[in-house]
Structure 1
Amino acid sequence: MDLLSRLLHRDGLMLIIDKPAGVAVHRGPKGGASLEDAFDQLRFGLPRPPALAHRLDKDTSGCLVLGRHRKALERLGRLFKSGRIGKTYWAVVEGAPVGQEGEIDLPLGRLDATRGWWMRPDPLGLPARTSWRVLGGSPDNALTFIEFTPHTGRTHQIRVHAQAMGWPILGDPIYGSGRREDSAPLHLHARAVSVPMQDGKPPVEAVAAPPEHMRAGLARCGWNGEAQP
């Protein structure tokens, strides 16, 4: 796997790469290939490869932040935990929301301890908050192009929130209708990230182009390949 061609940002503290869809970020309990296996390509002279500062789901593409050494990872960990890192996601969802923007404030808990990290709305769960705005839609209202901004970092947060609102993400094999072998891949993309890594300096920002498998759905919703406002 060539990660050098997917590098979006590099400095002495961190890297930001454009994660491909369909690849797990780290090896799971059942083993198998993962993105971490290729991190040695990204040492750039340091004695050790970078490490994950956060996670993206296997089927989610886009901006992934890596710390280049222990102190950088500690700093990034604090920033993610405190919610200071800005994250923007693009998704194509099934159906059409009522309105053009809003906020989903819906606590999340584990669906079932035997089902791994599957989540569900749970009034006794952990707080979870996501803002959204419509960027486009198909003429028949079958699909909508939405920008999501998560303000908390719960597992599968955007996917569960979208399902709970009645417009699941296209191709979602867990929370949507993408359970058939011939279904579309997950249409969720980590579009941009903003990292205030050093106090007193502008945040580091990176933007990732949407993956090939999302482009037809985005085009149906009016996206013309240019950056959105």
Structure 2
Amino acid sequence: MTPEELNARLLYRDGLMLVVDKPAGIAVHRGPKGGDNLEAHFDALRFGLPRPPALAHRLDRDTSGCLVLGRHHKALEKLGKLFKQGHIDKIYWAIVEDGPAEHEGLIDLPLGRLDATRGWWMKVDPLGQPSQTRWKVLGRGTDAAGKAIAWLALEPLTGRTHQLRVHSAAMGWPIVGDPVYGSSGRGTGIGLQLHAREIVVPLYKNKPPVKIAAPAPAHMIERLKACGWVEEAIAPIVSEDVAD
């Protein structure tokens, strides 16, 4: 990724925080096997500061959308506390197979590690950590093959690994393109249909929360349109006057 390409994906910038529209298919940080990662390109996002920004949280390699970065140590400490205490609201868009019969609901299923040999793969586990996801149907349709799909807004109330993917699959409507928990995956050319659409960060005491939305990614547009989504324009927000 070139510095110009990364800058073009900047959704929000102020004195403490950046929000980047992460592309699907790239890890946010270097893994044990190496390879390209988004963090390796953060030097292009210094904007005059002596050090590059750093990750305030994580997104899966195949998930696109809002990724929050702290611009310095003080900012990272503040953001880290907000994420840990559950004060940051997140909405994801997902295209799922079939879809729920109801219009909205809450998934309350504890999650645990699948087994020691599967890394971060997860499963529903009565002895696992409490995990909750609120969901709402935004549209329904069929894909090019005539299969029923639904467009959901997913709000994770807890932050477990792969939570949205495991919860969706456990409900009988896995996320389209999920190579681990779905019925179609890597190699199909579909791509995981999961997008971190919106994030709301209460970063400043005397100001309203910062609300940022990421545009729909190219690999999801076909199915989003099939479910009734209408294209939109999202302009980046730059507010350099906010410093602390």
Q: Which residue is 2:127 aligned to?
A: 124
Deviation string 1:94-117 (CA, Å, 9 cap, x unpaired) is: 012020000001111000111110
* 8 Å CA contact retained: 2:97, 2:148: yes
Would you say 1:83 and 2:86 are equivalent positions? yes
Letter in 1 for 2:213: V
Matching residue within 63, 71, 92 for 2:95:
92
Letter in 2 for 1:167: W
* 8 Å CA contact retained: 1:24, 1:33: yes
Matching residue within 148, 152, 172 for 1:146:
152
Would you say 1:192 and 2:198 are equivalent positions? yes
1:182: Cα distance to partner?
A: 2.3
Q: Which residue is 2:182 aligned to?
A: 176
Q: Aligned equivalents of 1:103 and 1:75: distance in 2?
A: 29
Q: Which residue is 1:5 aligned to?
A: 8
Letter in 2 for 1:33: D
Alpha-carbon distance change, 39 to 102 in structure 1, aligned in 2, over 3 angstroms = same
* 8 Å CA contact retained: 1:96, 1:141: no
Q: TM-score, normalised by structure 2?
A: 0.90
Alignment of 1:1-229 (within 5 A): 1=1, 2-138=5-141, 142-179=148-185, 181-226=187-232
SS in 2 for 1:3: helix
1:224: Cα distance to partner?
A: 2.0
Q: Aligned equivalents of 1:9 and 1:203: distance in 2?
A: 13
Deviation string 1:83-133 (CA, Å, 9 cap, x unpaired) is: 100100001000120200000011110001111100001111111110000
1:183: Cα distance to partner?
A: 4.5
Alpha-carbon distance change, 180 to 39 in structure 1, aligned in 2, over 3 angstroms = closer
Letter in 1 for 2:14: D
Letter in 1 for 2:94: A
SS in 1 for 2:215: coil
SS in 1 for 2:139: strand
In the comparison of the two structures, how many residue pairs are matched?
A: 227
* 8 Å CA contact retained: 1:86, 1:194: yes
Deviation string 1:139-169 (CA, Å, 9 cap, x unpaired) is: 5671000000111111111000000000000
Q: Which residue is 2:238 aligned to?
A: none
1:223: Cα distance to partner?
A: 1.2
Q: TM-score, normalised by structure 1?
A: 0.96
Q: Which runs of 5+ in 2 are unaligned?
A: 234-244
SS in 2 for 1:92: strand
The higher relative CO (CA closer than 8 Å, separation ≥ 6) is in 2
* 8 Å CA contact retained: 2:98, 2:150: yes
Q: Aligned equivalents of 1:177 and 1:185: distance in 2?
A: 12
SS in 1 for 2:67: strand
